[in-house]
Amino acid sequence: MLLSPLTRLGIPLVLLIAAVALLDRVSAIEPVYGRLLLWLPYLTFGIAIALSIFFNRARLFTAALAVLVSYGLIHTQLQTSLAEPGTLCIYTILSIVLPLTLLLLCVLPGPGLRNRFGVLMASIILAELLIAVFVLEYVPATTATPLINMWFPIKPYAGYILSVFASICYVLSALVGLVMLCRQDSETVAALLAVMLFSFVTFARFDQPRISSIMFAAAGISLIISLVRRSYDMAYRDDLTGLLGRRALNERLKGLGRGYVIAMLDIDHFKKLNDTYGHDVGDEVLKMVARQIAAVRGGGTAYRYGGEEFCVVFTGKDLLQCKPFLEEIRKGVSSYQMTLRNSRHRPESEETGMQRRGRRTRSRDSETVSVTISIGVSGYNEQLGKPQNVLKEADAALYKAKTNGRNCLAYKKS
């Protein structure tokens, strides 16, 4: 099954719960472990930066660098009371600038580090550092403190340190990030939202002992997990459909034991559809079919095998048990009507296109296209032995379904 956008926040939420639980036991931590905890965020963000460079992830590199710098300032400059003018200035700047930086990273494109966008993102961090240095060096703390107390007063509520203005920055940044996550289903945006969450808790409960070390270490771990998961997707998932690809299927076949079923699915007359409507429509059809297959019930796992071919693997079931789930996919695909818009009615801007999406209205010049799929199924038996042989039998059953008139399901029993 494909990850839904909001489930990408599952691991960060688990890390947050673990971090909060650790805060309650921080007084029991031995001093030697406390010193290690103090340096843990440097390690986690150092690893995150190295991975983001290796995988060419510009936005996560910038986020990791920004949060690392923020933690460095907290570690070295914010270890005194917020009643001190200099400490209050740095805290206020960080609590406002960091969420706005993460917001900017959510909305900016991130094609990579080694291009103009990568330079732009690095420039953002540099500019923020220069502004912070300028304020700290050339604006006397005694002058800035009255302005901060007037416009950005901290501790608006009992037990809550963050100013109302900084809180609004975090809320707006999180809302925009959630909208971007739901629209793009991006692992990067989910990681940026996680960093927002951990930094917000840090600044909101800044009076808690070791809260910055614990929360920022958790934020670094969250970034590392996101980068590893993204690298897994790049290696094992198909870019067009989002399904697991051929490499993931091969790995799965190696680990299959007994009692499994393999189904091969193929879009009927796909080459003719491509020739008639073009590759763009063909890609949309592939994505539509992939969505239908990804929703397979019965514990099946969907894969894109290549071209217009897909594969579903069931474990712990026999052929008869899998049949209704596969028939459900076949009927869902055949009943789906895809509307093709005439090029004259296409929106001139992306914003207009976004507004029109999801509407049911159909222009007079539009037409619909529907496709069908054929399915071949084979299950484990001792004669076949290896899963690769079962896969070949399923492919032979697929050919049988094609010769039976297509848009049907066929078995290959040995």
Give one DSSP letter per residue of 117-177, joined into a string.
HHHHHHHHHHHHHHHHHHHHHHS-HHHHHHHHHHHS-S--BTTB-S-HHHHHHHHHHHHHH
Among residues 195, 180, 172, the alpha carbon closest in space to that of 62 is found at 195
Catalytic residue among 308, 327, 351, 393: 308
For residue 37 the two structure tokens come to: 């905890």
The distance in angstroms from the start CA to the end CA of the chain is 30
For residue 343 the two structure tokens come to: 């090029």
Residue 379: its H or E element: strand 373-379
> Angle at which helices 270-277 and 279-294 pack, to 10 degrees?
140
Listed in sequence order, the residues at least 6 apart from 84 whose beta carbon sits closer than 8 Å to its beta carbon are 141
CA distance to 112, 198, 201, 336, per residue, from 331 (Å): 41, 45, 48, 9
Q: Cβ distance 216 to 198 under 8 Å?
A: yes
* Cα separation, 380 vs 319, whole angstroms: 9
For residue 248 the two structure tokens come to: 């993931």
Task: Give the largest Cα separation in the chain, rounded.
Answer: 86
Known catalytic membership, residue 128? no
Among residues 275, 276, 265, 300, the alpha carbon closest in space to that of 372 is found at 265
For residue 79 the two structure tokens come to: 């270890």
**376 three-state secondary structure:** strand
For residue 379 the two structure tokens come to: 């299950």
Residues with catalytic annotation? 308
